[in-house]
Amino acid sequence: MTLAAPRQLVLDLAARPALGRSDFFVSPANALALAQVDAWPAWPGRRLAVAGPEGSGKTHLAHVWAARSGARMLGAEELPGLDLGAVPDDAAFAVEDADGLWGAAAEETLFHLCNRLAARGSLLVTGREAPARWPLRLPDLASRLAVAPVARLELPDDDLLAAVLAKLFADRQLIVAAEVVRYLALRIDRALPAAERVVAAIDRAGLAERRPVSLRLAGEVLAAEGGAA
C-alpha cells in the first residue's frame, strides 16, 4: 500500500509586498497616471487624486510618490486622530481610500489639512472614483477636492497582470516558470486582488504538499478555488 505524503502544517503569513518604484510595472493601464504622479511638485494646486477600481495599483502608486516626496501615508480612517497643529505647512501627505470619508470628523480633518498644505505642502488622495463623485457632506471640502487633477488607473492588461503575478511570486521568494505565470494570467480575474489570492493559495498548497510550483499545481489550485483550469 502506498502512503500519501504527509501534509505540512502551514502558517498563513502574508508576504510583505514590494512597493518601490522599480517594482511598479508600467503598461497602458497605468502609464498616464504614473506620468501625472511624476509631475510632482508641479501639480496644479499641489494636489492630485488617484482614482481606479480595487486592485488597479493605487496603493503602490501612492507609495512610489511617498518615497520620492517624503510624504506621510495615512488611511482615511486615521484622519480623526491626526494632530494638525504638528503638521508643517510644507508637509506632504498621501491619504488612501479617501472616498470612504463618511464621518464628519474625518471630513473636517481633511478640510483643515487641505488648508494647511495649500501654500507650500502637497496632498495626494486615492479612491475608486474621482473626488467629484465622493459622497462628501462638507461642501467646502468637496469644492477643494473637486478641482484637483485626477490620475486614472485601469484594471491591468495581460502584460501587466503577468508582471504582477511574477512579482507576487518573487515577494514570496518562489521561483516560477514563465509558462505558469502566463497560464494564470489568462485564467484569473483581471484584478490585483485576484492575483494576490491565487498566488497565496498556490504558495500554501505547495508548502503543505511539499511540491514546487508547476502548471499542474496551479491548475489544481484554480480548480479548487473555482477558477478555470
Residues 38 and 143 in one domain: yes
Residues 52 and 141 in one domain: yes
Q: How many residues does the chain have?
A: 229
Domain termination site, one of 96, 120, 152: 152
Instruction: Write the DSSP assignment of 155-215 as a string of letters.
Output: ---HHHHHHHHHHHHHHTT----HHHHHHHHTTS-SSHHHHHHHHHHHHHHHHHHT----H
Does residue 6 lie in a domain region?
A: no
State the residue range of the domain holding 163.
Answer: 158-225
Residues 166 and 89 in one domain: no
Does residue 23 lie in a domain region?
A: no
Which tens digit of pLDDT belongs to each residue from 83-126? 999 999 999 999 999 998 768 999 999 999 999 999 999 999 99
Q: How many domains does the chain have?
A: 2
Is 228's pLDDT higher than 80? no
Does residue 106 lie in a domain region?
A: yes
Q: Which long-range contacts (CB under 8 A, 24 or more apart) does 133-138 make?
A: 133/99, 134/98, 134/99, 134/101, 135/102, 136/101, 136/107, 137/104, 137/107, 138/104, 138/107, 138/108, 138/111
Residues 109 and 205 in one domain: no
- Peptide bond between residue 41 and the one before it cis (omega within 30 degrees of 0): yes
Residues 87 and 122 in one domain: yes
Domain termination site, one of 152, 187, 205: 152
Domain termination site, one of 152, 172, 203: 152
Which tens digit of pLDDT belongs to each residue from 173-227? 998 999 999 999 999 998 888 999 999 999 999 999 999 999 999 999 999 987 5
Cell reading at 104: 464628519
Residues 49 and 146 in one domain: yes
CATH of the domain at 190: 1.10.8
Which tens digit of pLDDT belongs to each residue from 33-88? 999 999 999 999 999 999 999 888 899 999 999 999 999 999 999 999 999 999 99
Residues 144 and 162 in one domain: no
Question: Which amino acid is present at 149?
Answer: P
Element spanning 34, H or E: helix 31-38
Does residue 109 lie in a domain region?
A: yes
Residues 165 and 145 in one domain: no
Cell reading at 99: 472616498
Does residue 171 lie in a domain region?
A: yes
Residues 216 and 115 in one domain: no
- Predicted TM-score (pTM) of this structure: 0.79
